[in-house]
Structure 1
Amino acid sequence: MELRHLRHFVALAEERSFTTAAGREHIVQSGLSTSIRALEKDVDALLFVRGTRPVRLTAEGEALVPLARRTLEAAAAARQTVQEVHGALAGHLRIGALQTTGHTLPFADWLAEFALAHPRVRISVMQRGASEMVRLVLDGGLDCGLVGLLDHDPPGLDVVPLLAEPVVLACPRNHPLAQASAVRLEQLTGERFVEPPPAWAIRTEIDRAFAAAGLERQIVCEVNEWVMVLDLVGAGVGVALVPQGLDFTLHPRSDEALQLVPLAGVQLERRVDLVLPSGHAATPAARRFTDLVRSKLSPA
């Protein structure tokens, strides 16, 4: 079994298109097809369903994807280990990040410092929901990720806590609750809500809190960007439960249009953690980036 065959297999599994996967691997489509057939011969099973668009994996192909990724990562780590003897970090860092990370944490600053210190490392940043990013880190699709964890001790992952901040009510300044010192969830019955998507960890926490209280809420709009959430709340579309630490300067009218009110009777917070595979499963680049982040979190 050749590494290039596994690499071509993973490309096709991720792109679901022979044309796109061949372009990604810089080979012709016939070469990609030949490589896939050779791999199928090695494993003695069909890995893709023929004649489907987009390309669809068989059950055997689905089972091979995470193992193929880990094999490719192990090979890359082996090469990098040899290169590190000469003191030069190289390769690829694939990192997942919450769309809101930069609002509270200096993620861009960390990334810039890492990139300047290791110019031979190619960096890719992916933004997805927390649950998907955790799965990708475990499966080898990402090297590390800044995520909001629901399970604070997930098996197979090392976790570096970055922050935990309260969730508060954001409402228009002319809203009846705007002048309250604190608001209970029961007082939000009948309100219209602007929410992040269900895949976001903070949305899951909010859903759990309302379910535990036996309350329902009317969600009138779902958007995957906090700035738009604030814009819609400021325009009077509804109220929202948001992290207190958001950078509200990103909302140019926040001081005039919005009021933040603490919650009472419930402990809701947004967590952000850096996660990477445990032990030797982590790539050298992921370990080095984690070391940088830890150094920034340590008190001077």
Structure 2
Amino acid sequence: MELRNLRHFVALAEEQSFTNAASRELIVQSGLSSSVRALEKDVGARLFVRGSRPVRLTAAGEALLVQARHTLDAAAAAQQAVQDVQGVLAGRLRVGALNSVGHTLPFTTWLAEFALAHPGVHITVVQEGAQQMLDMVDNGELDCALVPATSDTRLVVLPLVVEPLVLACAPDHPLATNTAIRLSQLDGERFVEPPSGWAIRATLDDAFRANGLTRQIACEVYGWEPVLDLVRAGVGISLLPGGLDFSRPSWRELRLIPLSDVRLDRRIDFVYPKGAAASPATRRFVELLEHNRAMAVEQDAALDVPLDGSGQG
């Protein structure tokens, strides 16, 4: 069983398209097909349902996929062990990130710093729903992710930021004159929200259910930019992270109102596998995050030191 064939198999399983998988692996489609057939001969079973669109795994293919990923990760770790002797980091880093993570954290700055320090690492960024990305890290499809961690996760969790949710509404909305608002005042209101699978949806569902309240989902869109545009247009209101960038001229008119009776937060954590399951690139990226986080704490502490050294501001 060749590693090349396993890699082609995983690419096809993930892309669900011969065209996309061949492009990802930089080979022609006929070469990809031959590689998959060779692997099927090695394992003695059909791995894909013939003629299906998108491409679907058979039961045997599903069983092989997890082990194939582990095998490829182990091979990459073995290669990295050799590279470590030479002081070179190689391989790949597959990072999951919330669509809006750049509003709150310097994610692209971190990526740039890592990429420039380790040019031998191929970096891929994936943006899906929070729960889906947690599952992808857990099953080896991603190396790590910046998402809100769940309490039952088996992954290592590095907390990065916690920010409160605030109500956003158009300036002519009946609630716009409030300086603070109770959750009960939102009962039955029309909302614009991200789709199910986003962690914030689960947070809101739990909060409304716990307080015996309801809300109407008037519009469901992917991404905070269209949410804000629709709220500004008066389609509905929204509870969203207060750390979003509201600098666009049309968004400056929005009313942002804090909740007075409950604290609802959006968390962003860095999650990755435990122990040896974490790839060398992931462990190095964790080191970068921890270093930057420590530097930020030191800078915040320095800003709190009185200029006259008297201890009195």
Superposed pair shares fold, TM > 0.5 = yes
Residue matched to 1:85: 85
User: Are the structure 2 counterparts of residues 269 and 48 from structure 1 closer, same or farther at C-alpha, using a change threshold of 3 Å?
Assistant: same
Residue matched to 1:252: 249
Aligned: 1:152 with 2:151: yes
User: Are the structure 2 counterparts of residues 225 and 17 from structure 1 closer, same or farther at C-alpha, using a change threshold of 3 Å?
Assistant: closer
Residue matched to 2:293: 297
Dislocated runs of 4+, deviation >6 Å: none
- For 2:63 and 2:114, the matched residues in 1 are separated by 34
For residues 71-92 of structure 1, what are the alpha-carbon distances to aligned partners after superposition, in whole Å with 9 as ceiling and x for unaligned?
Answer: 1111112101210111111221
- For 2:112 and 2:31, the matched residues in 1 are separated by 38
Residue matched to 1:9: 9
Does 177-186 or 238-247 show the bigger shift?
A: 177-186
Residue matched to 1:268: 264
For residues 233-253 of structure 1, what are the alpha-carbon distances to aligned partners after superposition, in whole Å with 9 as ceiling and x for unaligned?
Answer: 11211110001111211x322
CA contact 1:134–1:145 (8 Å) conserved in 2: yes
User: Are the structure 2 counterparts of residues 86 and 198 from structure 1 closer, same or farther at C-alpha, using a change threshold of 3 Å?
Assistant: same
Quote the sequence identity (%). 63
CA contact 1:143–1:282 (8 Å) conserved in 2: yes
Aligned: 1:231 with 2:229: yes
CA contact 2:89–2:118 (8 Å) conserved in 1: yes
Give 1:182 shift.
Answer: 2.1
Residue matched to 2:176: 178
Give the length in aligned residue pairs. Answer: 296
**Counterpart residue identity of residue 223, structure 2:** E
For residues 10-61 of structure 1, what are the alpha-carbon distances to aligned partners after superposition, in whole Å with 9 as ceiling and x for unaligned?
Answer: 1121222334323333334443333223322332322112232322211121
Partner-residue secondary structure (3-state), 1:180:
coil
For residues 158-196 of structure 1, what are the alpha-carbon distances to aligned partners after superposition, in whole Å with 9 as ceiling and x for unaligned?
Answer: 110001111111112232222323222221123211101
CA RMSD of aligned residues (A): 1.6
CA contact 2:147–2:268 (8 Å) conserved in 1: yes
- For 1:173 and 1:297, the matched residues in 2 are separated by 37
CA contact 1:70–1:139 (8 Å) conserved in 2: no
**Counterpart residue identity of residue 128, structure 2:** R
For residues 87-122 of structure 1, what are the alpha-carbon distances to aligned partners after superposition, in whole Å with 9 as ceiling and x for unaligned?
Answer: 111221111111111101111111111111112222
Residue correspondence of structure 1 range 179-258 to structure 2 within 5 A: 179-249=177-247, 251-255=248-252, 257-258=253-254
CA contact 1:89–1:121 (8 Å) conserved in 2: yes
Does 114-123 or 234-243 show the bigger shift?
A: 114-123
Residue matched to 1:75: 75
Residue matched to 1:280: 276
Aligned: 1:126 with 2:123: no
- For 2:40 and 2:138, the matched residues in 1 are separated by 25
What are the ranges of 5 or more consecutive residues in structure 2 without an aligned counterpart?
299-313
